[in-house]
Amino acid sequence: MSDVSLDVRPGEVVGIIGPSGAGKSTLLRVIAGIESANSGQLNLCSHLYDFPCDPLRLHKPWPKTTLVFQSLCLWPHLSLRENVLMPLRQQMDMSKIERAEEYLEMFQIEKIGSRFPNQVSGGQRQLFALCRALSLDPDLLLLDEVTASLDVEHIRTLREVITDRSKQGVAIVFVSHSLGFVRKTANVVVFLDRGEIHENGPVSILSDPKTDRLKRFLFAADELNEIE
Ligand SMILES: Nc1ncnc2c1ncn2[C@@H]1O[C@H](COP(=O)(O)OP(=O)(O)OP(=O)(O)O)[C@@H](O)[C@H]1O
Ligand SMILES: [Mg+2]
C-alpha cells in the first residue's frame, strides 16, 4: 500500500470499493491500530500515531474506534448475546447494554442470542458482530464487507442505522462490493486498487468516473447491473 491519504470527518460516511486484494481490509486494520503501516501518520481524534510502530505496543483507539472484521472475529466459546455484551460489561456502562438490546431487536436477532456462533447462519453472525460494534457507541466505526451475507431487508435496516449514526456525528468508513449500497449510503467514495487510491470523491464518481481504472471497474459492475 502506498501514498494512501484519507481524511474522514465526524458525520461523514466513506465507502471504500475496489477489487479483491486491493488492500481495503488492510487499510481498515491500519486505521484501527491492529496493523502498522511502513511509514506515515494516523491522526485519530487528536491522537497522533507515527508509523512504523509495533501494533502490539500500540495503545489501541478502541472502543472510540471500532472495527467489524471481514472475518467477524466472534468468540466461538461465547453465546452470540455474550459476544455483544461482554465488551460492554468491561465498559461498565449500563446505558450501552440497553442500547445493545435495542440493536438486537432492531435487527430481529434477539431471540437467537443464546446460540453460539457455529449454530447460526453467516448473515446472522454478521448481524451480531455489527450489533457488538454499534453498541460500543464509537466515534469512528469501521465496517469491513458490511453487506456481504445480508439480505435486502437487513441491508435496509443497516442503511437506516448508518444514516442515524452519522447524523449523530459518528464517522463511518465501510468496505462493500455492493456498489448500489455504496451509492445510496456513502457521502464519499474511495476506489482502491493494488494498495493505491486511484480515485475518490462524492458518489457521483460512480456515474462519472475520471480514471480509466475506475471506468473499467464500473464497466464490469454495469454488465452485472450493479449500478442502477
Ligand atoms: N495475512 C496475510 N498475509 C500475507 N498477505 C496478505 C494477508 N492478508 C492479505 N494479504 C495481502 O495483502 C493484500 C491486500 O489484502 P486485503 O485483505 O487488504 O484485500 P481486500 O481489498 O480487503 O480484498 P477482499 O475484497 O478480497 O477482501 C493482498 O494482496 C493480499 O494478498
Ligand atoms: Mg477485505
CA of 144 to the centre of ligand 1 (A): 12
Residue 17 sits in a domain of what CATH number? 3.40.50.300
The residues, ordered by sequence, that sit 6+ positions from 185 with a Cβ below 8 Å of its Cβ are 13, 15, 159, 162, 163, 174
Q: Are 176 and 162 within 8 A, CB to CB?
A: no
CA of 95 to the centre of ligand 1 (A): 37
- What does the alpha-carbon distance between residue 2 and residue 208 come to, in Å, rounded to a whole number? 25
pLDDT tens track for 90-116: 877 788 899 999 999 999 999 999 999
Atom of ligand 1 nearest to the CA of 192: 21
Residues 130 and 174 in one domain: no
Give the position of cell 481498515.
28
| Domain count of the fold of the chain | 2
pTM of the model: 0.93
Residues 15 and 58 in one domain: yes
Exposure string over 132-169, b if 16+ CB within 10 A, otherwise e: bbbbbbbbbbbbbbbbeebeeebbebbeebbeebbeee
Residues 177 and 120 in one domain: no
Last residue of a domain, one of 99, 117, 137: 137
**pLDDT surpasses 70 at 228:** no
> 179: domain range?
1-64+139-228
Residue 128 maps to a domain: yes
